[in-house]
Chain A
C-alpha cells in the first residue's frame, strides 16, 4: 500500500523556521519526483516545490523561493521541506505528493503549519 506520512508541522512565530518530513512507503521512492503542495484552510491548492529523483534538480513557487529548501534522502525514503523566514501567509496545511504520470498522483494526509506570534 502506497503511503506518505508528513510530520514536523506546528506553531511557529513569524521569522522562525520549521522542517517538514514526509516518509514514503509501499513504492520505489527513489524513482519518483516528489512535490510539496499547500492549502490554506478553506482555500485552494497551491504548489510549493518539487525535487527530482536524486535531488539534483529542484523548483519552487515564487512565493517561497529563497526561503524554502526541498531535499530528499533516498536511503530513508524521505523528502524534506526546510522552511525559513516564515510569514503569516505561510500558514497552511502542507501536503507531500508523489509525482507519477507527470503530475502529483498520490498525496499524504498533510501536516498543518501555523505562523503566528
Chain B
C-alpha cells in the first residue's frame, strides 16, 4: 500500500498569511493526488485534483503543486473561511490512502 505522510498536523496562521501544506507519498504516484477541505459537521469538499487542477468554484488563492512523491497545497492570503482541516489523497492505486490531515487554526 502507498503511505501518505502529511505535514504539519497543525498550523497556526493569521488572516492574509500564505500557508503551505505538504504531502509525501511512499512511492511515486505521478500526479494522482487530490486535496480536500473539511469543516466540523460537514462533508469534505474537493479543492484540487490531479495535483494542480482547481475544482469548480474553488477560489484561485488555493493552488497545488508537485509530482511523483512530494506535493504541496498553498493557500495565499488566508481568509476566515479557510480555517479548516485539509487532507490529501493519493488515487494512483487501490487502496486509496489519505494523509493524516492538517488543521489550519487562527493564530
Give A contacts to B, CB under 8 Å: 35, 44-47, 50, 59-62, 95, 101-110
Contacts and interface: CB of A to CB of B under 8 A. Distances in A.
Contacts of A104: 34, 44, 46, 89
Interface string B1-16: 1000000000000000
Interface of B, secondary structure class, is loop
A106 B87 CA distance: 15
Sorting the interface of chain B by its residue count into under 10, 10 to 19, 20 to 34 or 35 or more gives 20 to 34
B95 A106 contact: no
Given A44-B100, A45-B89, A50-B96, 15 more contacts: A47-B98, A59-B95, A61-B95, A62-B95, A101-B50, A101-B55, A102-B50, A103-B49, A103-B91, A103-B96, A104-B34, A104-B89, A105-B46, A105-B49, A105-B55
